[in-house]
Amino acid sequence: MASRIVPIILLALLGTLHAQLWLGRGSVPRVNEMQRQIDLQKAANDQARQSNARLTSEVHDLKEGLDMVEEKARSELGMVRPNEVYVQFTPR
């Protein structure tokens, strides 16, 4: 009788561990889902990092040179210098 109890206990223990692997807190599907979320967050962080670098470069250009200020004023505000003719061409 005792020789049957040990394998039954070991099988029950193995079943419990196997259930934890697939259904528990650190289960394989949960780990895969968390890895997917980490990958999405890393992609969002990379995009934000690129945007921040572009904005930092733009701020540096605005602080250092007037050419960038003039370019911004021309493109965004429609600035025209004195004695300069502004012609806008719109294709049909």
Tell me the per-residue pLDDT of 30-52, one tens digit each, with 9 for 90 and over.
Answer: 889 999 999 999 999 999 999 99
Asked if pLDDT for residue 62 goes beyond 80, the answer is no
User: Best-predicted range by mean pLDDT among 21-25, 39-43, 62-66?
Assistant: 39-43
pLDDT confidence of residue 2 = 67
pLDDT confidence of residue 47 = 97
Q: Give the pLDDT mean for 75-82.
A: 77
Q: Are 21 and 28 in contact (CB under 8 A)?
A: yes
Structure tokens at 27: 């289960």
H-run or E-run covering 54: helix 28-64
